Amino acid sequence: MNEERYAQHVRQVLNHGLNDIPPAAARRLEAARHLALSRQKQAEPRLALAGFGAYAFKSGSPIPYLKQTLSIVALLLGMWLSFYWHSVQYVTELEQVDTALLADDLPPEAFLDNDFFEWLKDDSSAE
């Protein structure tokens, strides 16, 4: 409430001094005001979606959602590349284990032994 009284007081003082300004100075002040208003940056019309206040789109652009579309495509491509790279590494690790097992000098009967499978489970869980 105090700010409103202060604003009224300032307005009264400015209005009181308005009569003391010479007409030539008043015309120059009016011209300067018009010049400042003409140079003032005009707000561009924007479209804002409910719930997405931070995202504003220019209504005059030919593809209004280009940035968002490109960012989604880049995100999906990154996710796919990450999945592909991890799957290739996983398959490579399996190939190395299979190659080591097949290159070993074990007789085929050793692969049928239940203790061998238990050893494999214990060995793989230790990693």
pLDDT tens digits, residue range 73-95?
999 999 999 999 999 999 998 88
DSSP string for residues in 102-126: HHS---HHHHH-HHHHHHHHHHHHH
Residues 70 and 37 in one domain: no
CB 56 within 8 A of CB 47: yes
Domain that holds residue 27: 2-42
| pLDDT < 70 positions in the chain | 1, 43-62, 106, 123-127
Residues 29 and 79 in one domain: no
Cα–Cα distance for residue pair 53/49, rounded to 1 Å: 6
- Residues 115, 119, 121, 127: what is their CA dihedral angle, to the nearest 10 degrees? 180
As for how many domains the chain has, the answer is: 2
Cα–Cα distance for residue pair 79/73, rounded to 1 Å: 10
Residues 73 and 29 in one domain: no
Residues 35 and 74 in one domain: no
Residues 71 and 30 in one domain: no
| pLDDT of the residue at 79 | 96
In a domain, 57, yes or no: no
In a domain, 90, yes or no: yes
| pLDDT of the residue at 71 | 92
| pLDDT of the residue at 90 | 92
In a domain, 102, yes or no: yes
Residues 33 and 78 in one domain: no
Cα–Cα distance for residue pair 49/56, rounded to 1 Å: 8
